[in-house]
Amino acid sequence: MATKSSIKYLRSHRKVIDANYAQASTMRMTGMKTCQIMNFFAMQCEGYRNIGFVLKDLYNRVELEEKKETTNEDAEGAIGYFIGRTTIEPTFYFEYEVDIEGRLENIFWMDSVGQMDYKAFGDVLVFDSTYNTNKYHKPLVVLAGVKNDFGTIIFGSALLSEKTTEAYDWILGTLVKANGGKKPISVITDGDKSMRQAIEHVLPNARHGLCTFHLKRNAETGTNKCSMFTSMFAKFMKKAIPMEEFEEGWHAVVASCGLDGNDWVKKMYAKRSLWAETLLRECFFVGMRSTSWCEQMNAFLKRYIKPNMRMYQFVKIHALALDFLREKESKAHHEIEDTFLMLSTELLALEQHAAEAYTRNIFVNVRKHLGRQGLYDCFKREDTGSECLFYLAKYRDSRTWVVEMDKETRQMKCSCKKFEWKGLPCAHMFRVMVVKNLQKFPQACIMKRWTMNAKEDIDVGGSLGT
């Protein structure tokens, strides 16, 4: 016979009601352990004796609910979540594929913010597929880029059944379809062969660059941690040097390290157009070379994703991670833009124009190069008719830089290729502006994607996936 004080422990008097489970489920998705959730309920009810169930009951309810869900039902839950998103966000885009047995194979999604960001900043695409997500081991592909303050943005994401050329073809094709046919100028990947083939199929005109982080790590493995080679390899990856100097330096370090017969070294030399800045610099990469820009997203997911997490749970956590990153960026942007930087160069008119045009982080970068223009001497000018050539040299430096300036549009091109590579004027171009006594940047020298009005006149139109 149970006493009055022990009756609450009888099975017939213990029950995890639906409201309790719903709350516990949400808390588990944010990373809380079941025992911690039990502590929370105890605080809510002013004691464990008032909860109405014990810890084992909560564990049992969680296990029971998870067993009810089959793989197909889980996929339907994820799709249902996305359909729900479209009711409150009409331009939310998602699309999925099923196999011959009707099971979910691949799924892609992109919200309205991602679409707007892609239309403004989708000229360079970072393709990261290094994170495996849920209990079905579906690889997560994050499609990211760089926004106008040089911060990371996530355009969209996808879950794949496996990393194949066909799957990557589908992702890239869906990305382009979701954004009215807009294709990136360049793409950065970790070097996956299937990914490279997909880029050739879907984005044949895009320039492909390999991630420097992965290359550096692979160089250590591929050369048995030869420090001399890895040091020079890093230089070749990240420094634009004359082609002759690159070729001579490469063959010299390979010979010095005794790596002439090394298969990895041979393979990298054959792929040099994908990683050597000397060969990449003519293409616009926003100055970016690594997929590690997606690390914040991956770090957040690693914190909250559990090995047995269902797909529908994962897509909710993914949305939370994306919201967290965007809020973090927004707060940082507000803190920066809410302050005023004093002008610090002697070229106040040009510096003021830069401060008015560019976002804060970009302005700081531009001002640094504006301050360096005085290091260069314009020792020769040449009129070619429609253009004027300016020849620049630096004190005790044998190199010569040539800046071409269109007389009508004042568009400039420098032999250093910084504008083509990063979309920002170089110190050589600033020197020419000073020589020409310009008070403002020529409009042709300001790339809109780096300005404060980068998203002006962008319309996001969406359609529901199938």
**Would you kindly state where each structural domain of the chain is located, as residue ranges?**
7-68, 72-211+290-329, 220-286, 348-450
User: Greater confidence, 25 or 223?
Assistant: 223
Q: Does 247 score more than 80 pLDDT?
A: yes
The mean pLDDT of the chain is: 87
Residue 244 is which amino acid?
A: E
Q: How confident is the model at residue 394 (pLDDT cuts 50, 70, 90)?
A: very high
- Report the pLDDT value the prediction gives residue 462, as an integer from 0 to 100: 43
- Report the pLDDT value the prediction gives residue 339, as an integer from 0 to 100: 76
What average pLDDT score do residues 191-210 get?
94
115 CA to centre of own chain: 14
Q: Are 202 and 253 in contact (CB under 8 A)?
A: no
User: Greater confidence, 326 or 300?
Assistant: 326
Residues 406-457: pLDDT tens digits? Answer: 999 999 999 999 999 999 999 999 999 999 999 999 999 999 999 999 998 8
User: Residue 153 contacts by C-beta under 8 Å, 6 or more apart in sequence?
Assistant: 114, 117, 121, 144, 145, 146, 147, 329
Q: How confident is the model at residue 13 (pLDDT cuts 50, 70, 90)?
A: low
- Looking at CATH, the fold of the domain delimited by 72-211+290-329 is given as Nucleotidyltransferase; domain 5 (3.30.420)
- Report the pLDDT value the prediction gives residue 465, as an integer from 0 to 100: 43
What average pLDDT score do residues 316-339 get?
81
User: Greater confidence, 28 or 198?
Assistant: 198
User: Greater confidence, 291 or 393?
Assistant: 393
Query: pTM of the full predicted structure?
Result: 0.82
User: Greater confidence, 284 or 332?
Assistant: 284
What average pLDDT score do residues 323-340 get?
79
Tokens encoding 293: 């820009």
User: Residue 363 contacts by C-beta under 8 Å, 6 or more apart in sequence?
Assistant: 341, 354, 355, 357
What average pLDDT score do residues 243-261 get?
95
- Report the pLDDT value the prediction gives residue 54, as an integer from 0 to 100: 79
What average pLDDT score do residues 217-236 get?
92
Q: Are 304 and 295 in contact (CB under 8 A)?
A: no
Q: Are 143 and 157 in contact (CB under 8 A)?
A: yes
Most confident listed range (292-296, 338-342, 347-351): 347-351
- Report the pLDDT value the prediction gives residue 293, as an integer from 0 to 100: 63
- Report the pLDDT value the prediction gives residue 50, as an integer from 0 to 100: 80
What average pLDDT score do residues 315-342 get?
82
Q: How confident is the model at residue 2 (pLDDT cuts 50, 70, 90)?
A: low
Q: Does 463 score more than 50 pLDDT?
A: no
- Report the pLDDT value the prediction gives residue 6, as an integer from 0 to 100: 53
What average pLDDT score do residues 55-75 get?
70
Q: Does 166 score more than 90 pLDDT?
A: yes
Q: Does 62 score more than 70 pLDDT?
A: yes
User: Greater confidence, 4 or 224?
Assistant: 224
Q: Does 220 score more than 70 pLDDT?
A: yes
What average pLDDT score do residues 131-153 get?
81
State how far the Cα of 171 lies from the Cα of 163, in Å rounded to an integer.
11
What average pLDDT score do residues 152-160 get?
92
State how far the Cα of 365 lies from the Cα of 358, in Å rounded to an integer.
10
Residues 275-317: pLDDT tens digits? Answer: 999 999 999 999 888 877 666 667 777 777 766 677 888 888 8
Q: Does 70 score more than 50 pLDDT?
A: no
